[in-house]
Amino acid sequence: MDPAAGRREPTMRDVAALAKVSTKTVSRVINGLPGAGAEVVQRVRDAARTLGYRPNLTASALRRSDRRSATIGVLFEDLSNPFDAALLRAVEDRARHSGVLVLAGSSEDDHALQRELLVSLSARRVDGVVVMAAGGHQDALQHERQRGTPMVLVDRPPTFGGTDCVTTTNRDSSRDAVLHLAALGHRDIAFLGDRRTLWTSQERYTGYLEGLAQAGLTLRDALVRTDLHGEDLAADATAALFGLDRPPTALFTAQNLVTVGAMRVLRERGLHHRVAVIGFDDFPLADMLDPGITVVRQDVPGIGRKAADLVLARIDGDTSPPVHAVVPAALVRRGSGEIAPS
């Protein structure tokens, strides 16, 4: 079953020898270029098939003037996160339709790892990268970008210039969510957010503030909890909120794991039908919970497609000014966000 032992992959030279032509002619036939007669084309095709010849794209890229590897890098935070996975899938689909494959990696929101992966990608001469930037500084990204690598940031914009990015309507949709709650009569709306170093968290918090202000509500610091990385921290923070003298009647949970952690606590305390919840980011089965969870849903495939479109266009030499594409999110009403204050 493993006949590779000792054997060599056939090359153009082997095909050329069998078809009794030059390697250049084989190259022409394989690449469908003109300059080969019908009979020669047939001979070469037959020889290639007989030998099981497969073109070597890396050697080809090395020699060609455009030097394209037809491969892009995708660096997300955690490929096992449903959001990242859906995004990867969208980028991959779009790339595949252009004959481009995807080298994928998880940066775990860690600068050192992100940097290391970036170097690995660049050693493999990817044509461009789509990156979800790790929080905090973006030195490695900026450095890579300045080397000329086509780059598109997703979910979070660059802190440096000259680079495309695709994000969603974090601020506006958050404001809308808060206004939706306020319209039901809620006056004590809590904010539960992810790590503050993340741009998305900041934007969603700003939207929350705008919502409060626009509805004429007072900001209560005690109702704002941030740096909730993961379900458990979110659950703890939620529990703490309900230890307050005047607990919130509604929650705006600004990330999906935070939403889940908060729901867990509400259910434990039997509050899930009395406290309103709107979460940012949809998640599977949100509609199957009791009550269904009202969420701000991002258009993840839309974001992925747009990011892929941008990076592929840059690779093709598009030099128009950098774009910050904003893909709209939408409020999906499922019940939890429609609970009025008691």
Partner DNA sequence: TCTGGTTACGTCAACGTTGACGTAGGAGTT
Partner DNA sequence: AACTCCTACGTCAACGTTGACGTAACCAGA
Binding region for a second copy (CB under 8 A):
1-5, 7, 52, 54-59, 61-62, 69, 71, 78-82, 84-86, 88-90, 92-93, 96, 99, 101-106, 117, 119-125, 145-149, 160-163, 260, 263-264, 267, 283-285, 288-290, 319, 322
Q: Are strands 224-225 and 164-168 parallel, antiparallel or unpaired?
A: unpaired
Q: Does 121 help bind DNA (rule: CB under 7 A)?
A: no
Nearest by Cα to 303 from 327, 332, 275, 284: 327
Contact 69, 127 (CB under 8 A): yes
Q: Does 7 help bind DNA (rule: CB under 7 A)?
A: no
Q: How far is the CB of 118 from DNA (least distance, A)?
A: 17
Nearest by Cα to 334 from 282, 271, 266: 282
Q: Which one of DNA, a second copy, none interacts with residue 324, CB within 5 to 8 A by kind?
A: none
Contact 182, 213 (CB under 8 A): no
Stretch that binds DNA, among 20-28, 73-81, 171-179, 190-198 (CB under 7 A): 20-28
Nearer to a second copy, 322 or 341 (CB): 322
Q: Which of 59, 183, 240, 244 binds DNA (CB under 7 A)?
A: 59
Contact 173, 205 (CB under 8 A): no
Q: Which one of a second copy, DNA, none interacts with residue 71, CB within 5 to 8 A by kind?
A: a second copy
Nearer to DNA, 8 or 342 (CB): 8
Report how far residue 19's alpha carbon sits from residue 46's, in angstroms, rounded to the nearest whole number: 8
Contact 95, 101 (CB under 8 A): yes
Q: How far is the CB of 44 from DNA (least distance, A)?
A: 9
Q: How many residues bind DNA (CB under 7 A)?
A: 29
Q: Cα torsion for 37, 42, 48, 52, to the nearest 10°? A: 160
Nearer to DNA, 4 or 288 (CB): 4
Q: Does 63 help bind DNA (rule: CB under 7 A)?
A: yes
Quote the crossing angle between the two packed helices 139-146 and 111-123, to the nearest 10°: 20
Nearer to a second copy, 119 or 240 (CB): 119
Write the CB contacts of 161 (distance below 8 Å, at least 6 apart in sequence): 322
Q: Which of 46, 49, 50, 62 binds DNA (CB under 7 A)?
A: 62
Nearer to DNA, 48 or 153 (CB): 48
Report how far residue 277's alpha carbon sits from residue 292's, in angstroms, rounded to the nearest whole number: 10
Q: How far is the CB of 112 from DNA (least distance, A)?
A: 23
Q: How far is the CB of 86 from a second copy (least distance, A)?
A: 5
Q: How far is the CB of 262 from a second copy (least distance, A)?
A: 11
Q: Does 36 help bind DNA (rule: CB under 7 A)?
A: yes
Q: Tell me which DSSP letter residue 224 carries.
A: E
Q: How far is the CB of 315 from DNA (least distance, A)?
A: 17
**Integer CA distances (angstroms), 257 to 22, 109, 211, 299, in order:** 61, 16, 22, 18
130 - beta bridge partners? Answer: 74, 152
The arrangement of strands across the sheet holding 189-192 comes to 224-225, 189-192, 250-253, 276-280, 294-297, 330-332
Nearer to DNA, 123 or 288 (CB): 123
Q: Does 25 help bind DNA (rule: CB under 7 A)?
A: yes
Tokens of 235: 């659950």
Q: Which of 50, 56, 146, 214 binds DNA (CB under 7 A)?
A: 56
| Residue 196: other Cβ atoms inside 10 A | 13
Nearer to a second copy, 78 or 210 (CB): 78
Nearer to a second copy, 6 or 37 (CB): 6
Q: Which residues bind DNA (CB under 7 A)?
A: 8-9, 11-13, 20-27, 30-31, 34-37, 39-40, 55-56, 59-60, 62-65
